[in-house]
Amino acid sequence: MALKGNLRDFSTTQLLNLINLARKTGTLTIGTREAQARLCFKEGKLIYAMMDGQDDHLAAMLQQTGRITEEQARAIQTRADVKSDKELGLLLMNAGYVSKDDIVRSVRTCILNNVYPLFTWPDGTFRFESNVLPFEDRITIPIRLESVIMEGSRRLKEWERLQEELPSLDVALRFAERPDARLRDISLSVEEWRVVSFINPRNTARQIAQYNNMSDFQIRKIVYGLLQAGLIELVRPEGVAVSAPPGVPGQAPMAMRRPAVKRGVVERLISFFQRS
């Protein structure tokens, strides 16, 4: 089954969060009238990204990042004996033009440069095809999506979307119980660290904003990023009776209470449905 939809309804941030948490492998294609991007993932990690119409061969990437000159890039591209990017990479390393680290950094930079603008696309159709990966000859670099989501969220400018995703600031935050979510592996800004240092089920997002002199927009943006990166969860503030109005998404659930029917009644209903 393909994941299909429009960024209007399910944003790039949410898509990457889904791919990360579900550890998906495949290709995500996002398209507008003007542009089309293809992002490839392996087990929930971003491994490649390209914009249609853009030269995404290694020579072009090395040139874009200033590792080789335009002339060198042109000379490489005209050589018919170099069949794949992997082969070219080896050739350039053996000839001493670039190091392995240069190649990794260049590919990584080009991948990310293709991904970050997608966070600001308000509209565009998307389709995720499982188990479809880029051409075998390309060099792929596994990049953790938590960091990509955090950086992408920093670029969000849409107040409305943040308001929809996080309508109430009267929720507390706690660290997600995901063993693979490690904050120390993610590059956080000073403001984000400030928020992180106050994360505690006793502090609401509003209080954290006040402690740090942040506007509603700033705190929403940071909390949204941390949330979508799967690093934190929203919870009801400790010691606070919830009386939030109904219809407020994101509010903490009440503890479930036992329904006012006898156990025997439920068991009779179950056996009725199991029989029929």
Smallest separation (angstroms) from other proteins to the CB of 112: 23
Nearest approach in angstroms of CB 124 to other proteins is: 13
| Shortest spacing between CB 135 and other proteins, in angstroms | 26
User: In sequence order, what are the beta bridge partners of 129?
Assistant: 27
CA neighbours closer than 13 Å in the CB half-sphere of residue 207: 13
d(CA 90, CA 101): 12
CB nearer other proteins, residue 109 or residue 125: 125
Which residue is it, tokens 């490690």? 182
What distances in angstroms separate CA 39 from CA 120, 122, 123, 125, 133, one per listed residue? Answer: 16, 17, 17, 14, 9
Tell me whether residue 104 or residue 242 sits nearer to other proteins (CB atom): 242
Distance CA 226, CA 237 (A): 18
- Sequence-distant (6+) residues with CB within 8 A of 118 are 12, 30, 37, 39, 152
| Interaction site with other proteins (CB under 8 A) | 1-6, 8-10, 14, 17-18, 21-22, 164, 242, 244-251, 253-261, 263, 265-270, 272-274, 276
Give the residue with the Cβ less far from other proteins, 90 or 240.
Answer: 240
CA 141 and chain centroid, separation = 16
Least distance between other proteins and beta carbon 86 (Å) = 33
Three-point CA angle 60, 64, 66, nearest 5°: 115
Burial environment of residue 230 by CB neighbours within 10 A (0 to 12, 13 to 18, 19 or more): middle
Query: Least distance to other proteins from the beta carbon of 142, Å?
Result: 20
Output the smallest distance, CB 95 to other proteins, in A: 46
| Distances from the Cα of 213 to the Cα of 36, 170, 219, 234, angstroms | 40, 16, 10, 21
In the complex, the smallest distance separating the C-beta of residue 254 from other proteins, rounded to whole angstroms, is 4
Q: How far is the CB of 126 from other proteins (least distance, A)?
A: 9
C-beta of residue 201 within 8 angstroms of C-beta of residue 258: no
> Is 163 or 197 the residue whose CB approaches other proteins more closely?
163
Question: Which of left, alpha, beta for 140 (phi over 0: left; psi -120 to 50: alpha)?
Answer: beta
Query: 75 vs 266, which CB is nearer to other proteins?
Result: 266
Is the CB of 44 or the CB of 89 nearer to other proteins? 44
Return the residue matching tokens 């603008």: 117
Nearer to other proteins, 8 or 83 (CB): 8
- Between CA 144 and CA 140 the distance in angstroms is 13
Residue with tokens 């009267």: 170
Nearer to other proteins, 96 or 253 (CB): 253
